Amino acid sequence: MTIKPKTIADLESGFPSYCKALRLLVEAGSSLEKVKRTICWDCLQRLHSSLPKIYHSPEYLFYKFIRTRLILKEI
Q: Where are the domains of the chain?
A: 11-74
pLDDT at residue 2 above 80? no
pTM metric for this prediction: 0.89
pLDDT at 1: 64
Closest by Cα among 43, 71, 73, 74 to 58: 43
pLDDT at 73: 82
Secondary structure tally for the chain: helices H, strands E:
5, 0
> Averaged over 38-43, what is the pLDDT?
96
> Averaged over 54-60, what is the pLDDT?
98
